[in-house]
Every structure is written in structure tokens, then in C-alpha cells.
């Protein structure tokens, strides 16, 4: 027994020595079966033959190892860097393993000392120099999750979510079918972990559909997108295309759209055998329905597919009839309906006709109204109002003696009722800020005379706010102007006085009558010898204006 054990130990040692790396940097410290470890069962992988794999837990002290199998290959490798291991899944019956590292070298074709069985876990402990590298972990989050991730043009294993990378600059590429590939650069520092958050955008391409007859409905994934001929932009991927048209057999296809693709679908729908239904009724204006679809009034010839169809004729208070029409290919089926409802009376029919006429007239009036409103009141064109009229003094107070007590000044005091009598002109420009609501700005020029022949004037600036009503024949306005004149003065010349101006307005169509009340604090004439009165006056102005097109 001791001799057998010694022979086995000798064979094991010889195998281990044979498996040393070329520069003795990588060697096998031990290999054993873990009878109590159920990882191969609980986290199993399936090989290409559909059988559960064996699991070899390779214990290492550094990262960067690559594993290659024998002729049976390796199913997958799962790095467990935080645990100091690599999990290598191999098929049952595997014979040897090759270990590579770009710094430590190669351990070639290490032969397993025991038979590799399915769903069993083994431990391979490697001995090698510890590589001192500066780096950090990269935290990766990508959408969609099945995307392929490349770091420095090397594809990451799908199980790796936080690879360890050396410090410095690296490139990345994230790609997935039907999505736009994203590339970029990232920097790894020793002090903190880097993050790679990538959300790929769905790629798009073009689909061109040329199907006869023209006007065929095109549905993509059950949603109508247009009629042929059609060019539409779709997200990349597989789509269900449906083509249908009345009196034709619908077709369905599957199209695959890729990024910037130009996919063309051409063809012609096959026509369904059809015939004609000829409908006639003596009730004028009666609605004709075929298979619950309104197709016309009173009479007509309609094409439908061969087979039995339901014809329904209805006119409230006059007639209501359901018939069956048996349509044959290339033939015409006649449906003639004459009899009214038993309960219908001549008075009821006359009332129904009268109601129809009233309804038609109301619809016509509404249409005309909508057209006029659209043309006249919804326009954004410039509008304006100009006008002219007379200005009369209501009251004049607070005369002062002049510097010179001459005859003219005395005469002015005696004829104070004439102060402020004169002319007034006004202009306003603006637009409709809303239907029926005009808003503009304007100004008035008020020229007044005195009994001495001297003159006064004022120019109040105002806000013109007009609300319009509307019916078929008249277009009345209700307006309110509010404004104020700003005072200024020059020596020996007339000047604008401080003035408050209010002018309510009413009118029809283009003409509007304005009655404005103006209070003037000071209104001076151009000579020094006349002092300024306070005046309250009224102006009557007739103006007219236009609408936008």
C-alpha cells in the first residue's frame, strides 16, 4: 500500500514539475476535488452538448489571467477578483488547462491529476509572483443590459460588472444590435473608482413601400402610418408590416430595419372577387347603410365583395328598412325599397322635411359665420382708425391778470366762454389681440382758439381698447380711450398742457362716433401777456377704420 501511495505522489510531483511555466513564474501549488462544494450545481453552466459543466476554482494573487482548454474547450470564465479566484467552467472529461499572463508568462497544458466529472467542483491553486500594479475598479452601467462592452478593444465577459483597470487613459466601446454604437475615453485614477454610464439610443432606418393599388393602407406593428406610395422612418428592429385595401386581400410581412437602412417593399395586392349592389328608394334623402357603413343617400350603385351583405335604409319618420343582398362576382344585385313605415303620416313627413331644411340653413349660417370670423377677426394684419371733429369748452376758470393790463387781456376775460373752442383730429393703430378684441395706441391733436385770436393746443396720447360684437349685418364697437398729455414749454411759444383724456365710443361697421371728455390743467398761448386757464371741454369726433384681410 505504501508503495502505491509513493508511486502516485511521484507521478503527481512529476506532473507538477512538467507544468512549470517557461520562466518558472507560474506553477501549480495544488489541485484537489472539493467534495462538499456544491457551487457547480447551484450556479451551473451548460456545455455545448447540453450537459452540466464541472467548475474549477483557480486561486490567484493577481488579475489578468487567461485560460485555455483542451479539445473540449472552456464553456466560460467568471473572474472573482475580489475573492482572489477565477471560476473556469469546463466540460466533463476535460484533460488539461493552459494558463497565460502577459507579465508572468505561460503555464502550458497542465494535465488534471484526477478525472473531471460533471457538476463537481475542483480547486486549482497557482503559485506565482505578485504583480504590483496601480489601478482601480471601473463601475459599469449600460442600457440595454445585453450590450457588448469593449475596453481597449478587448471584449469584457458578460459576467464582469466592475473590471480592474490600470491607472491611465483607456478607450471604451458599447454596442448592441439595433442600437447606435457609442465610443469614448475614460481615465482610471488610483484615488477613486471611475463610472461608465451608457444608455444607447435606438438606431433608425427607412422603409419605402410601393404597393399597388396606390392608396393601400400601410400598418406597422398594428398602427396606421400612411398610404402607398410611402417612405417612413422606423426604429431599428423587426416590425410587422400589414398592407390592406378595400376589395383586396390583405398581406402581412416581417421587415428588419437596421441603422440608416433603406428597405424597399414592392408588390401588388390580389383583388377579391366582387360585384355590385344597386339601391333605390322613393324616400328622398334616405340614408343607405351597407354592413353598418354609410355609403350614400336615396340611391346608388356600390361595389362590394362577393357574399351576403346587409342593406339598411333609414329616414326618420319616413322609412326604415333592412334587406339582405347576395352579391355574386361580376353581377349586380338590386335592392328597391318603396314602402314607408306604417306609422308615418303626411304631416310627419312634412315636419321631417322642414326640420331638414332648418338644419341645412343653420349649418350654412354657421359655416358663413365661421368664414367671416376667420377672414375678418382672426387676421393678424395691421388695423387702424382715423377721425376728426369739433372741440367745445364746457368751463374755463382761474384766469389771472396779465403782466400788462392791456385791452386784449381785459377782452379775453370778458369772452372766457370762447376759450378752448376749436378742432380735434385723432389716429389709432393696432391689431386684434384676440377674436373681437382690438388693442391699439393713438394720439389726438386738440387745437383751440381764443377771442384775442391767440391759439392753444394739446396732444394727449391714449390707449384704444375696442370690443367688437358680430352678427350677419352689423358689426358694433364698444371702445374706451384713456390717455394723458405730457406738459412741456418753450419761451414765447404755445405748448402742450398737462391733460387727461377719456373718450367712450360706439359704432357700426367702419364708422364710430367718439364723445371725448378732456380736462386741461394749463393751456397757454404763444404770447407772454396771456395767462393760462383751467379748462374742461368736450370733443365730438367721427372716425372710421379698417380690418385686416
| pLDDT > 50? residue 15 | no
What CATH number belongs to 383-546?
2.40.160
User: 135-199: which CATH number, 1.10.287.40, 3.40.50.2300, 2.60.40.1120, 1.10.3720.10?
Assistant: 2.60.40.1120
| pLDDT > 60? residue 407 | no
What are the start-end ranges of the H helices in 336-488?
346-372, 407-414
Determine the average pLDDT of the residues in 292-302: 86
43-53 per-position pLDDT tens digit: 989 998 899 99
DSSP symbol at 46: B
What is the reported pLDDT for 401? 40
Class of the domain covering 277-346: mainly beta
Band (pLDDT 50/70/90 cuts) for residue 406 is very low
- Rounded to a whole number of angstroms, the CA Rg of the chain reads 49
* CATH 2.40.50.100 applies to domain 204-268: no
What is the reported pLDDT for 456? 63
Burial class (CB in 10 A: 0-12, 13-18, 19+), 188: buried
- End-to-end alpha-carbon separation of the chain, Å? 116
What is the reported pLDDT for 417? 42
| pLDDT > 50? residue 216 | yes
What is the reported pLDDT for 113? 93
For residue 478, report the phi and psi dihedrals to the nearest 5 degrees: -130, 115
Higher pLDDT, 140 or 8: 140
**Residue 391 CA from chain centroid, whole number:** 59
Contact 314/286 with Cβ under 8 angstroms? yes
Domain(s) of CATH 2.60.40.1120: residues in the chain: 135-199, 277-346
Record the cell numbers describing residue 305, joined without a space: 365583395
Contact 385/545 with Cβ under 8 angstroms? yes
Neighbours of 78 (CB within 10 A): 17
Higher pLDDT, 460 or 267: 267
- Read off the pTM: 0.39
Record the cell numbers describing residue 436, joined without a space: 373681437
User: Which 3-state string (H, E, C) describes 445-483?
Assistant: EEEEECCCCCEEEECCEEEEEEEECCCCCCCCEEEEEEE
Q: If we measure between CA atoms, which residue out of 221, 218, 204, 205 comes closest to residue 263?
A: 205
* Cβ-proximal residues to 292 (8 Å cutoff; 6+ apart), any chain: 310, 312
Lowest mean pLDDT segment, chosen from 12-16, 79-83, 125-129, 281-285: 12-16
Out of 122-136, 264-278, 346-360, 378-392, the most confident range is 264-278
For residue 417, report the phi and psi dihedrals to the nearest 5 degrees: -65, -15
| pLDDT > 50? residue 7 | no
79-113 per-position pLDDT tens digit: 887 788 999 999 999 999 999 887 788 899 999 99
Record the cell numbers describing residue 61, joined without a space: 494573487
Domain(s) of CATH 2.40.160: residues in the chain: 383-546
Neighbours of 155 (CB within 10 A): 11
129-185 per-position pLDDT tens digit: 776 667 788 889 999 988 999 998 888 877 777 888 888 899 999 999 899 999 999
Q: How far apart are CA 451 and CA 288, in angstroms?
A: 85
Give the count of alpha carbons within 13 A of 341, CB side only. 17
Amino acid at each position: 500500500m505504501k508503495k502505491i501511495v509513493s508511486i502516485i505522489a511521484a507521478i503527481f510531483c512529476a506532473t507538477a514539475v512538467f507544468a512549470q511555466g517557461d520562466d518558472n513564474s507560474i506553477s501549480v501549488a495544488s489541485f484537489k476535488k472539493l467534495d462538499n462544494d456544491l457551487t457547480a450545481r447551484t450556479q451551473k453552466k451548460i456545455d455545448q452538448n447540453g450537459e452540466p459543466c464541472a467548475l474549477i476554482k483557480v486561486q490567484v494573487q493577481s488579475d489578468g489571467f487567461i485560460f485555455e482548454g483542451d479539445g473540449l474547450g472552456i464553456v466560460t470564465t467568471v473572474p472573482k477578483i475580489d475573492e482572489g479566484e477565477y471560476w473556469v467552467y469546463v466540460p466533463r472529461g476535460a484533460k488539461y488547462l493552459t494558463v497565460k499572463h502577459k507579465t508572468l508568462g505561460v503555464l502550458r497544458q497542465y494535465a488534471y491529476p484526477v478525472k473531471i466529472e460533471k457538476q463537481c467542483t475542483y480547486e486549482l491553486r497557482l503559485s506565482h509572483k505578485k504583480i504590483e500594479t496601480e489601478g482601480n475598479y471601473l463601475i459599469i452601467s449600460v442600457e440595454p443590459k445585453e450590450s457588448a462592452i469593449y475596453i481597449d478593444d478587448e471584449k469584457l465577459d458578460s459576467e464582469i460588472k466592475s473590471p480592474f483597470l490600470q491607472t491611465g487613459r483607456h478607450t471604451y466601446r458599447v454596442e448592441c444590435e439595433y442600437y447606435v454604437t457609442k465610443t469614448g475615453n475614460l481615465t482610471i485614477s488610483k484615488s477613486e473608482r471611475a463610472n461608465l454610464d451608457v444608455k444607447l439610443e435606438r438606431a433608425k432606418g427607412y422603409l419605402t413601400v410601393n404597393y399597388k393599388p396606390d392608396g393601400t393602407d400601410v400598418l406597422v406593428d398594428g398602427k396606421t402610418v400612411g398610404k402607398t406610395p410611402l417612405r417612413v422612418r422606423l426604429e431599428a428592429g423587426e416590425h410587422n408590416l400589414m398592407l390592406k385595401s378595400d376589395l383586396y386581400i390583405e398581406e402581412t410581412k416581417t421587415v428588419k430595419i437596421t441603422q440608416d437602412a433603406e428597405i424597399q417593399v414592392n408588390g401588388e395586392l390580389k383583388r377579391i372577387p366582387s360585384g355590385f349592389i344597386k339601391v333605390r328608394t322613393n324616400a328622398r334623402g334616405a340614408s343607405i347603410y351597407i354592413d353598418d357603413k354609410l355609403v350614400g343617400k336615396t340611391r346608388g350603385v356600390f361595389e362590394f365583395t362577393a357574399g351576403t351583405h346587409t342593406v339598411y335604409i333609414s329616414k326618420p319618420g319616413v322609412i326604415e328598412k333592412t334587406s339582405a343582398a347576395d352579391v355574386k362576382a361580376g353581377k349586380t344585385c338590386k335592392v328597391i325599397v318603396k314602402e314607408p313605415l306604417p306609422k308615418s303620416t303626411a304631416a310627419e313627413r312634412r315636419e321631417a322635411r322642414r326640420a331638414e331644411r332648418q338644419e341645412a340653413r343653420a349649418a350654412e349660417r354657421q359655416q358663413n359665420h365661421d368664414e367671416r370670423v376667420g377672414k375678418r377677426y382672426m387676421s393678424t394684419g395691421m388695423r387702424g382708425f382715423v377721425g376728426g371733429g369739433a372741440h367745445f369748452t364746457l368751463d374755463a376758470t382761474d384766469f389771472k391778470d396779465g403782466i400788462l393790463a392791456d385791452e386784449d387781456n381785459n377782452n379775453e376775460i370778458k369772452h372766457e366762454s370762447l376759450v378752448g373752442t376749436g378742432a380735434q383730429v385723432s389716429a389709432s393703430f393696432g391689431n386684434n389681440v384676440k377674436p373681437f378684441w382690438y388693442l391699439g395706441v393713438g394720439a389726438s391733436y386738440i387745437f383751440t382758439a381764443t377771442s384775442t385770436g391767440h391759439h392753444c393746443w394739446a396732444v394727449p396720447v391714449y390707449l384704444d381698447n375696442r370690443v367688437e360684437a358680430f352678427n350677419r349685418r352689423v358689426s358694433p364697437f364698444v371702445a374706451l380711450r384713456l390717455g394723458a398729455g405730457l406738459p412741456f414749454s418753450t419761451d414765447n411759444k404755445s405748448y402742450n398742457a398737462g391733460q387727461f383724456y377719456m373718450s367712450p365710443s360706439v359704432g357700426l361697421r367702419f364708422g364710430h362716433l367718439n364723445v371725448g371728455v378732456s380736462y386741461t390743467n394749463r393751456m397757454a398761448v404763444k404770447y407772454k401777456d396771456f395767462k393760462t386757464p383751467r379748462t374742461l371741454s368736450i370733443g365730438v369726433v367721427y372716425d372710421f377704420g379698417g380690418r385686416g384681410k
